[in-house]
Amino acid sequence: MPERPIQQHSLFDTSIEAEGPIVPSRIPSTSPFHQPRALTEAQREKFRQMSRESREARRSALAGEGPAPIHEINLPNFHPLDLMPQRDGKGLTALSLFSGGGGLDLGVERAGFTHTASFEIMPEAGDTLRKARSDWAVFSGETDGDVRRVNFKQWRGDVDLLHGGPPCQPFSNAGRQKGHLDERDMWPQFVRAVKEIRPAAFIGENVPALASPKFSDYVSTSIMAPLSGSYHIQKIILQASDFGVPQVRRRVFFIGFRTKKLANAWSAPQPTHYWGDASIAGGERCMGLREALGLPDIGVDDLSPTIRSSLTGPRHTTSILNSVAAQRKFESLQIWPNGVAADRASARAFVAKNGHFRLSVPDVALIQGFPEDWPFVGATYMALGQIGNAVPPPLAYAVASSVLDVLSK
Ligand SMILES: C[S@@+](CC[C@H](N)C(=O)[O-])C[C@H]1O[C@@H](n2cnc3c(N)ncnc32)[C@H](O)[C@@H]1O
């Protein structure tokens, strides 16, 4: 099928002229990240029109009124749980902050830790965790899940591993990079929790931009200085595809141990997988995106570009596109990354204008290294938001396993 030009008015479209005063968004959101764009009524109306058109196109496709489907329902080859054999942590416990839809939590659990409690402000993400693990103590929503309201001293001495990925928006290249000036900067809360609980170890995760020179003062002042008196802290940047996840996604981890003995015994996780020609001794080949999703061979495959969370931008969308470069990469892979469908049957029925393979929520979950049946709760953009915010579980597993190796000795 010949390729058609990409859809107009995409996420990166700047062609809509500003006319008149700025008006507030009418879209309600439970996401603490949502920072609507400053738009005029004319601009908002243009976006509303796009949404109406795309809703109508989806409705008619799902009612069988659209073009005939051209792709079979895919049967993935990638099974993330195979990358995370369940380990026995012999009763070692973990407490999770900023748990989101549970990427870090799942990796930590498979590495052998038992969760004492998980805290997450978004109600839908809390529901995801409860649905996935009915035996976890999940605290969610503004009253129970907001870490700012929690007195962590109640767990002092009772938690082996404290982990969390404070919101990355203050540091992300995709955001305004206001660091500690951003009211969403929750690192001070992570630091407070470490000081109040005094776990044997902690793992703090974030976007690699936090390890860039721009934020070196921030890291020294807000993370290292308050904790390095009582913890030995190491910082590592890891790539998800080095651990078998078919996506280019780098993340920084701050790993702290309360004693020097534990810190000296720790070694950073080593890559288990490679992509392309960069073969490593004893390593396995990471699947490309098409192979992972079980799509037919078109003679070209590659890792997925870094996917974005649909909650973090100024608009809640069902697109996982991060950049124009990502858009080109998906085009070369003949995959349509906008208007992600709730499930595979709907993705098949809603034929993309250029005939490329339309993604579904379970497909995007796989791209992020979640088992495809991880039960994300909420509308499609909400599920995609939880997925896009997550640490790929196999990457979390590698880091948590390296900590378990030390704590269980
Ligand atoms: C980067 S995401 C974490 C993703 C998670 N680590 C995972 O792997 O799935 C950050 C999370 O922090 C949550 N959050 C933001 N402010 C919070 C607060 N004050 N209390 C609790 N959670 C908060 C957000 O809703 C979001 O789900």
Token pair recorded at residue 160: 């082996």
Q: What is the CATH number of domain 80-275+391-407?
A: 3.40.50.150
Residue to mutate, 97, 99, 312, ligand 1, most ligand atoms under 8 Å from C-beta:
99
Q: What is the pLDDT, as a whole number, of residue 313? A: 65
Which amino acid is present at 241? S
Q: What is the pLDDT along the chain (409 residues), one digit of tens a residue?
A: 333 333 433 444 445 556 677 776 766 666 666 566 677 878 778 878 877 887 888 888 888 888 999 999 999 999 999 999 999 999 999 999 999 999 999 999 999 999 999 999 999 999 999 999 999 999 999 999 999 999 999 999 999 999 999 987 777 766 666 667 667 789 999 999 999 999 999 999 999 999 999 999 999 999 999 999 999 999 999 999 999 999 999 999 999 999 999 999 999 999 999 998 777 888 999 999 999 999 999 999 999 999 998 787 666 789 999 899 999 999 999 999 999 999 999 999 999 999 999 999 999 999 999 999 999 999 999 999 999 999 999 999 999 999 999 999 9
**CA–CA separation, 7 vs 319, rounded Å?**
12
Ligand 1 atom with minimal separation from the 393 CA: 8
Q: Whose CA is nearest to atom 27 of ligand 1?
A: 100
114-120 and 93-97 strand pairing: parallel
For the chain, the structural domain boundaries read 56-76+286-388, 80-275+391-407
What does the pLDDT read at residue 10? 46
Q: From ligand 1's centre to the CA of 102, what distance in Å?
A: 10
Cα-to-centroid distance, 378 and ligand 1 (Å): 16
Q: How far is CA 381 from CA 240, 341, 384, 400, in A?
A: 23, 10, 5, 29
Q: Is 395 in the pocket of ligand 1 (CB under 6 A)?
A: no
**Residue whose C-alpha is closest to residue 304's, from 260, 352, 351, 367:** 367
Q: Output the CA 49–ligand 1 centroid distance in Å.
A: 32
Which listed residue (39, 95, 117, 168) is catalytic? Answer: 168
**Residue with the nearest Cα to atom 26 of ligand 1?**
100
Q: Which atom of ligand 1 is nearest to the CA of 100?
A: 27
Cα–Cα distance, 309 to 61 (Å, whole number): 26
- The alpha carbon of 98 and the centre of ligand 1 are apart by a number of angstroms equal to 3
- Catalytic residue status for 286: no
Mutation probe of ligand 1 site: the residue of 127, 171, 316, 389 with most atoms within 8 A of C-beta: 389
In the block, which residue shows the tokens 């919101």? 167
Per the listing, tokens 């001070």 go with 188
Please state, in angstroms and rounded to a whole number, the distance separating the CA atoms of residues 355 and 378: 28
CA nearest neighbour of 208 among 252, 248, 253, 246:
252
Amino acid 6: pLDDT: 37
Q: Which helix (H) or strand (E) holds 395?
A: helix 393-407
**Phi, psi (5° rounding) for residue 138?**
-105, 125
At residue 7, the pLDDT reads 41
Q: How far is ligand 1, taken at its centre, from the CA of residue 177, in Å?
A: 17
